[in-house]
Amino acid sequence: MIRFENVGLRYGLGPEVLRDVSFRIAPGSFQYVTGPSGAGKTSLLRLLFLSLRPTRGLVRIFDQDAATLTRDSVPRLRRRIGIVFQDFRLLDHMTTYENVALPLRVLGTSETDYGRDVSELLEWVGLGDKMWVHPPVLSGGEKQRAAIARALITKPEILLADEPTGNVDPPLARRLLRLFIELNRLGTSVVIATHDLGLMDQHDARRLVLNHGRVDIYE
Amino acid sequence: MMPAVLFSTMAGWIFMNNTARPGRTPPRRKRRVRATHAARAHLIRAADAARQLRHRPGPGDDPHSAMRGANPIVPPQSVARRALLALVAIMSFLACLTVAAVTLVGERADNWQRQIADEVTIQIRPSDTHPIDEAVARAVDVAAQTPGIRSATALSADDAARLLEPWLGSGFDRSELPVPRLVAVSVTADADIAALARRLRDEVPGASLDDHGLWLERLASMARITTLGGFFILGLVMAATALCVVFATRGAMAGNRDVIEVLHFVGAEDSYVAGEFQRHFLVLGLKGAGLGGVAAMILFAMLGIFGRLQGPTPEEAQLRSLIGGVTIGPPGYVGTILTIVLIAVIIAATARLTVRRTLRELD
């Protein structure tokens, strides 16, 4: 599904933040990307999400070389990837329902076709009663679940989550982890970037540990 | 789509602690929010409550009907509206005035050309060998025999002298000057002017035909210059409007950077993002251009009404003799409406191009 070979990344003329990173992400797999702050977790996720191009090395995503992708072909690949940010990135002027429905609206799907799915997904993540409110009135955990629902509404093949439990309390973090595990059981590959060791101890999975830009893999 | 069956089977347990259950009070959480955030949240909560009161869903209501008339993806208040609206209205007003002036001059020039083209003048110079009165009579006969000639009227010697009064005064002695005599010939469109000129040259001594070609050429030239000048001014107004829209679009994009990022993250293509901004600017353009255009049309109507109501002053009489008043005809109004549409289209297209170009630059 995704293959990195000797990938290096630097910002401008600065030092390499990722060095000789090589790994594969198989369909239906579950892995954590971890490491200390500044180790390059977010940069790695941005490479996975085609938000950055590698300075060197090979990045193949869904059998396509990231280096040769045209600007027009990136959105089509991004639709196969769901992403959840630590800061949620919800649009405050739109309701929770509209935020979750946004990817389908962008695809040009009619509301009559997606309305029920969006409602059911919001019920599923426990936001059925917060469907018509705006993000500023949601708690951190509710915002995170809304962001997860938005990432899942198009049924992506892989879900990338950047510190998804960074802004929530431990009980909610455990519930979010259960949600990711269940998604993985349904066939979605999951990549969680986190430095929360407690979270990783709750569910044993492959770990990509970043340190000084290099990655060590613990199966 | 995520299968509905899977959602419903798991909905019960994954977030069962978090969903509201009867008879159980949800735990209170301490929230530390800044005062500004709290005020904003309070306002949005109040708006949500008011909306729910206005549209309380009933048992038979479609739960998704609230999405119809959904919030725009780019919030309208984030686009600099009032200032840009006023600017577009002013530009539209100026553009409509220019278009009206061009159509007015064009109409008058056509009118003059028609009037002049309907007449030709035979000029007979005095000769020592031939009596001029005979020559005038012969010229009238020749003209009358030529096909396509509606009428031929000889101006008397007194009439010819009166035409010279503005230059020579009223008391001059005509016998001392070789004043030519004139025959005013009214022609139809299919008159053979060349044949008439040939016969006059052959049969009437001292006669020549003036078909007003020089005047027609000058009028056509004047009309062309005025039209070109008008279109040049129109082009400048449109260019200034487009430049303002470029700046406004860039400002709107900077203000909506988070929206653009989210749209890209959920797989939106540049054309979709551009379309979202274009829609706002098209509506703004139609409103602004419409306001300016309607103001211009009101001005045209008032000029027409005042022109009819006002008593004839010498200045106005002179103006009327030249351009026939400043009443804007149907072409002026049609041009105004087309200008409104053109400005709106230019604004929308400029916004779209600016967004796409800026996105490419950001990439």
The residue out of B146, B173, B205 marking a domain boundary is B205
Which residues of chain A are within 8 Å of residue B47 when distances are taken between CB atoms? Answer: 134
Residue A91 to residue B52, Cβ atoms within 8 A: no
Closest CA to A123 of B185, B360, B18, B274: B18
Tokens (6 digits) for A1: 């599904």
Residue B205 has a pLDDT of 84
Tell me which of B71-85, B307-321, B348-362 is least confident.
B307-321
Check whether residue B160 and residue B258 sit in a common domain.
no
- pLDDT of amino acid B272: 93
Q: In the prediction, which pLDDT does B47 show?
A: 52
Of the partner residues B2, B68, B70, the one whose CB lies closest to the CB of residue A117: B2
Do B290 and B329 lie in one domain? The reply is yes
pLDDT band at B9 (very low <50, low <70, confident <90, very high): very low
Higher pLDDT pick, B52 / B297: B297
pLDDT of residue B59: 35
- Domain end (from B205, B234, B261): B205
Q: Which of A114, A123, A137 to mutate to test the interface with B (most CBs of B within 10 A)?
A: A137
Token pair for B329: 């005809």
> Does B40 contact A at CB distance below 8 Å?
yes
Higher local confidence (pLDDT), B118 or B353: B353
Residue B22 lies in a domain: no
Assess whether B132 and B234 both reside in one domain: no
Residues B196, B146 within the same domain: yes
Pair B88, B231 in one domain? yes
Mean pLDDT across A46-70: 90
Q: Which chain A residue has the Cα nearest residue B57?
A: A132
- Minimum mean pLDDT among B17-31, B126-140, B300-314: which range? B17-31
End-of-domain residue from the set B177, B205, B233: B205
Cβ contacts of B67 on chain A, cutoff 8 Å: 97-98, 101, 111, 115
- Please name every residue paired with A83 in a beta bridge, in sequence order, or none if there are none: A160
Residues 6+ apart with CB under 8 A from B91: B237, B238, B240, B241, B244, B288, B292, B343
Let me know if residue B59 belongs to a domain. no
> Is residue B53's pLDDT more than 50?
no
Beta strand A2-10 pairing with A56-61: antiparallel
Q: Quickly state the pLDDT bin for B64 (edges 50, 70, 90).
A: very low
Reported as a single tens digit per residue, the pLDDT across A150-195 is 998 998 999 999 988 877 788 888 888 888 998 899 889 999 999 8
Measured CA to CA, the distance from residue B294 to residue B89 in angstroms comes to 9
Encoded amino acid at B244, one letter: C
- Between helix B193-203 and helix B132-145 the angle, nearest 10°, is 150
User: In whole angstroms, what is the distance from residue B276 CA to residue B217 CA?
Assistant: 52
Count of structural domains within chain B: 2
In which domain, by residue range, is B108 found?
A: 76-113+224-362
Q: Which residue has the higher pLDDT, B212 or B254?
A: B254
Instruction: Give the contacts of B326 (CB within 8 A, at least 6 positions apart).
Output: B104, B303, B304, B307, B319
B109 and B235 part of one domain = yes
The reply to whether B183 falls in a domain is yes
- Whether B38 is in a domain gets the answer no
CB–CB contact B14 A76 (8 Å): no
Task: Please compute the mean of the pLDDT values over residues B142-146 and round it to a whole number.
Answer: 87
Cβ-defined contact of B19 to A125 (cutoff 8 Å): no
The 10 Å Cβ neighbour count of residue B147 is: 10
Domain-embedded: residue B18: no
What pLDDT, in 10s, does the model give residues B274-315? Answer: 999 999 999 999 999 999 999 999 998 888 787 666 655 666
Residues B229 and B333 in one domain: yes
| Residue B318: per-residue pLDDT | 60
| Smallest CA–CA distance from B9 into chain A, residue | A124
- Chain B residues within an 8 Å CB radius of A93: 71, 75
Q: Do B66 and A133 touch (CB under 8 A)?
A: no
The reported pLDDT for the residue numbered B320 is: 61
Q: Which residues of chain B neighbour A112 with C-beta distances below 8 Å?
A: 64
Q: Do B330 and B248 share a domain, yes or no? A: yes
A192-218 tens-digit pLDDT: 999 888 888 888 899 999 988 899 998
Q: Does B356 touch chain A (CB under 8 A)?
A: no
* B267 → closest Cβ in A91, A103, A121: A103
Residue B152 pLDDT: 87
> Do residues B91 and B175 share a domain?
no
In a domain, B96, yes or no: yes
* pLDDT average, residue stretch B48-74: 51
The larger pLDDT score, comparing residue B66 to residue B279, is at: B279
Same domain assignment for residues B336 and B254: yes
pLDDT given at position B260: 92
Q: What is the pLDDT of residues A81-106, one digit of tens each?
A: 999 988 889 999 999 999 999 999 99
Which chain B residues are closer than 8 Å to A92 by Cβ? 44
Closest CA to A66 of A31, B262, A78: A78
Distance CA A213, CA A17 (A): 5
pTM of the entire predicted model:
0.69
Please give the DSSP secondary-structure letter assigned to residue A51. Answer: S
B199 and B231 co-located in one domain: no
- Residue B216 is predicted with a pLDDT of 78
Can you give the pLDDT at residue B277? 92
- In the numeric block, the tokens 């004047």 are attached to B222
Question: Mean pLDDT in chain B?
Answer: 77
Per CB-CB distance under 8 Å, the chain A contacts of B44 are 92, 133-134, 136-137
Nearest CA in chain B to A102: B266
Joined together, the tokens standing for residue A99 give 């935020």
Nearest CA in chain B to A125: B15
CB contact under 8 A, A93 and B75: yes
Question: Which chain A residues touch B268 with a CB distance below 8 Å?
Answer: 75, 106
How many beta-carbon pairs below 8 A join chains A and B?
137
Query: Would you state the pLDDT for residue B170?
Result: 73
**Distance separating alpha carbons of residues B211 and B348, to the nearest angstrom:** 51
Q: What is the ipTM of this complex?
A: 0.88
**What residue in B sits closest to A75 (Cα-Cα)?**
B267
CA B105 and chain centroid, separation: 15
In a domain, B174, yes or no: yes
Nearest to A25 by CA among A148, A146, A142, A156: A156
B 74-93: CB under 8 A from A: 75
Report yes or no on B141 lying in a domain.
yes
User: What is the full DSSP assignment across A179-203?
Assistant: HHHHHHHTT-EEEEE---HHHHHHS
| Nearest CA-CA distance, residue B280 and chain A, Å | 16
Query: Both B229 and B133 in a single domain?
Result: no
